[in-house]
Copies of this chain bind each other. A is one copy, B any other.
């Protein structure tokens, strides 16, 4: 597998982009062989800049829900683009899309659209503060809610005041949540929660129903807003609110990534309990009301409602999880596969510095399968049973290859340095 184009692009990028790349799609924390640049995509597959094809288990870190360039969604986007996109006001599609989301997401009475997941989580925080007149927001320790100064996991360039009223609790730990609420006294504005614990570098955790219900009850008692951050998991867990099955309705939920199947749009959804607060804040962006992503979202949500995309992903995810366990055992490895099967986290037992996981990811990449060693992955509806079976077969070979050279594996230097820095985010700044 040659990567000459990728290497040439990286050399050019290093001159005109700080560090050559930034953000969550930088390969700085991935195995050295991972390509940085991609030239095209279709369905479940991506091609790197050198034309190598991969079955993509990252799905653009979530946005590809139905598969890349789904023709139904693209046709809707093209039809709207032939009319207009970013105009001097919103298009009728905005109202239709807001009505669609309100109909699909149980707790939601209203919607505000934006562009980044961070926009939606930040608007949630501001709306909660405006609604309650209080300041403190609680977030689960280690949870990712975006890259703004109040929530970025790497605090370089921020100031201590950016988190003056942001405090942490332990996910799924009722006692910890209760203590944080008690500490907030009469100044609690909101409790943030992810639908499940999908932090990087660690095993994922399903939400304990007792934790979710206690969060709701504490908000009811204090008047604080319960905020579920659906940006990463939304519509991969359910066709509406991810906590609906738990019987827990938030006041606010933040959505993004996949509800227009890759077209740029995110949203804050809210209940009437926070309508006044949301109406009081000033939030806007040059492209927030653009029509093309809204048309793409309307069609994506139709497909979400009318097809078995979700059950299909879960069937494939079950098949993958079982197949990988068996294949790993064949070479003496024990996997820790956590998270929903359609959003799998795959790590190795007895691999604290990820050296085995990195080596496995490289072996998979060499076999045309793009997996991630420390971030949750994403299945998409365009994947097939044949894709899963090919993945399992490649995994079997990959496990064998790393078993044969296990003693030679070394940890990834940048990851080790970063993990150390990430372990103490609150002390930097």
Show the binding face of A for B, using Cβ within 8 Å. Answer: 5, 9, 12-13, 15-19, 21-25, 27, 35-42, 46, 49, 56, 58-64, 68-69, 74, 77-78, 81-92, 94-95, 98-99, 102, 109-112, 115-119, 122, 125-130, 135, 147-150, 152-154, 156-159, 161-162, 164-165, 231, 256-257, 262-264, 266, 270, 275-290, 293, 370
Flag if B281 contacts A95 (CB, 8 Å): no
Report the minimum CB–CB distance from A379 to chain B (whole Å).
14
| Chain B contacts for A154, CB-based, 8 A | 281-282
Q: Which residue in chain B gives the minimum CB-CB distance to A13?
A: B95
A119 to B158, CA, bound (A): 14
Whether B16 and A91, one on each chain, are in contact in the complex, defined by CB atoms closer than 8 angstroms, is no
Distance (whole angstroms) from the CB of A150 to the closest CB of chain B: 7
B153 touches A23 (CB 8 A): no
A284 and B23: CB pair below 8 A? yes
Q: Is the CB of A88 within 8 A of B60?
A: yes
From B18, B74, B84, B165, A110 is in contact (CB under 8 Å) with: B18
A89 and B287 within 8 A (CB): no
Q: Are A161 and B158 in contact (CB under 8 A)?
A: no
Collect the chain B residues with CB atoms within 8 Å of residue A275's CB.
18
Known contacts: A17-B112, A110-B17. The answer to whether A46 contacts B88 by CB under 8 A is: yes
Assess the A165–B159 pair: CB atoms within 8 A.
yes
Question: Which B-chain residue is minimally distant from A258 (CB atoms)?
Answer: B286
Quick one: copies of this chain in the complex?
2
Q: When the two chains form their complex, are residues B284 and A89 in contact, meaning their CB atoms are under 8 A apart?
A: no
In the complex, the 6 A-B pairs of residues with the closest C-beta atoms, listed nearest first: A23-B284, A126-B157, A130-B157, A18-B279, A154-B282, A264-B287
Q: B87, A41: Cβ atoms under 8 Å?
A: yes
Q: Give the one of A49, A77, A154, A287 with max B CB within 10 A.
A: A287
Measured CB to CB, the closest approach of chain B to A201, in angstroms, equals 15
**Contact A89 B36, beta carbon cutoff 8 Å:** yes
A130 to chain B, nearest CB (A): 4
Task: Name A275's closest neighbour in chain B (CB-CB).
Answer: B18
Closest to A429 in B: B129
Q: Of B102, B152, B284, which one neighbours A16 at CB under 8 angstroms?
A: B102
List the B side residues contacting A117 at CB < 8 Å: 285-286
Out of B21, B38, B42, which one reaches A91, CB within 8 Å?
A: B38
Chain B residues within an 8 Å CB radius of A286: 60-63, 116-117, 231, 256-257, 264, 266
Taking A282-B156, A283-B23, A286-B63 as contacts, is the C-beta distance between A126 and B149 under 8 angstroms? Answer: yes
Of listed A37, A56, A128, A150, residue having the most chain B CB within 10 A: A37
Can you list 29 residue pairs at the A/B interface with Cβ under 8 Å?
A12-B95, A12-B99, A13-B98, A16-B110, A17-B111, A18-B110, A21-B90, A22-B283, A35-B89, A37-B89, A38-B84, A38-B88, A38-B90, A39-B92, A58-B88, A64-B86, A68-B84, A69-B82, A115-B264, A115-B285, A125-B157, A130-B156, A135-B159, A152-B283, A156-B280, A161-B165, A162-B162, A231-B286, A264-B287
- Alpha-carbon separation in the docked complex, A194 to B15 (Å): 27
